[in-house]
């Protein structure tokens, strides 16, 4: 169901460009859009599979592009509040991926962005590097003080905001910010010590599925 269903005030605030309304809409859809950007999709009619973002930075950049396009003044004004908003965002995401893929292979059709979303593990998902880094991270977390372990659980695993985390821990938001930065610095050191701190190689943006 679209986030605007039975919520006229949210739609009005969204159209005005109210930051809180934009944030509400963003958080409602961001995971779904990130999944499209991450996993890519297939175009059954042409047998082409458009891969998702090759690396995390590209993933973040593309997710940002989707919402910048969707939240622009003209796009907000032209949205009627009735059409499902999720598919609209997905289409923007798919078109962005197609544009990137066409830079590699211009034969990919421009107007076929209605392909099905492919949710299946890709090479990036299966590589051993993640498992190795995650194991080192688990060891790192286990060695943290209880307060820091709790912060990791609330802020990262449970995805609380800094304010919510601060309230749950009974400390200030500034303290949460400080501890969060300290944890990330500590993890970087731990990964470096384990020889796991290096850059990933980018992967091609396109793969073909069978013959055309």
Partner 1 sequence: MTERSRLLAGRRGLSRPEKEAILERVLAQVAPRSRWRRRVAIGALALSAATAGAVLLVPGAPRDELTARGGELPPGFDATCVPAPCATGSKLVFDVTSTGGAAYFAAFARGADRMIWYFPSSPAGQSRSLPQGGGVLDTGITLGAEHAPGTYTIHGVFSTAPLDRAAVRTLVDEGGATVTRQVTIR
Q: How far is the CB of 101 from partner 1 (least distance, A)?
A: 21
Q: How far is the CB of 43 from partner 1 (least distance, A)?
A: 24
Q: How far is the CB of 91 from partner 1 (least distance, A)?
A: 18
145 three-class SS = coil
How far lies 85's CA from each of 11, 63, 77, 180, in Å?
Answer: 11, 16, 13, 34
Task: Say whether residue 208 binds partner 1 (CB under 8 A).
Answer: no
Cα(198)–Cα(159) distance, integer angstroms:
26
Q: Of residues 42, 71, 91, 209, which one binds partner 1 by CB under 8 A?
A: 71
Map the footprint of partner 1 across residues 11-40, applying CB under 8 A: 17-19, 22-23, 26-27, 30-31, 34-35, 38
Q: How far is the CB of 156 from partner 1 (least distance, A)?
A: 4
Task: Say whether residue 129 binds partner 1 (CB under 8 A).
Answer: yes
Task: Say whether residue 193 binds partner 1 (CB under 8 A).
Answer: no
Alpha carbon 36 to chain centroid distance?
A: 9
Cα(33)–Cα(207) distance, integer angstroms:
20
Beta bridge partners, 41, equal 50, 117
Task: Give me the half-sphere count of Cα atoms (radius 13 Å) on the Cβ side of residue 85.
Answer: 24
Q: Of residues 112, 175, 194, 203, which one binds partner 1 by CB under 8 A?
A: 175
Q: Which range of residues in 4-12, 86-94, 104-112, 157-165 is near partner 1 by CB under 8 A?
A: 157-165
Q: How far is the CB of 108 from partner 1 (least distance, A)?
A: 26
Backbone angles phi, psi at 182, to 5 degrees: -65, -40
């Amino acid at each position: 169901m679209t986030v605007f269903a039975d919520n006229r005030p949210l739609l009005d605030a969204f159209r005005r460009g109210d930051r809180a309304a934009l944030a509400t809409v963003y958080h409602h859809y961001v995971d779904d859009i990130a999944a499209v950007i991450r996993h890519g999709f297939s175009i059954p009619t042409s047998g082409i599979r458009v891969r998702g973002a090759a690396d995390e930075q590209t993933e973040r950049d593309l997710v940002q592009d989707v919402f910048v396009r969707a939240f622009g003044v003209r796009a907000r004004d032209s949205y009627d509040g009735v059409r499902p908003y999720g598919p609209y965002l997905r289409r923007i995401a798919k078109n962005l991926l197609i544009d990137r893929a066409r830079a590699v292979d211009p034969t990919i059709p421009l107007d076929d962005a209605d392909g099905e979303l492919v949710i299946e593990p890709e090479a990036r998902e299966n590589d051993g590097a993640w498992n190795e880094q995650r194991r080192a991270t688990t060891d790192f977390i286990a060695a943290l003080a209880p307060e820091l372990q709790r912060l990791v659980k609330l802020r990262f695993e449970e995805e609380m905001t800094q304010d919510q985390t601060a309230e749950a821990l009974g400390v200030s938001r500034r303290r949460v910010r400080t501890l969060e930065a300290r944890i990330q610095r500590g993890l970087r050191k731990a990964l470096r010590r384990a020889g796991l701190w290096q850059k990933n190689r980018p992967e091609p943006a396109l793969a073909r599925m069978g013959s055309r």
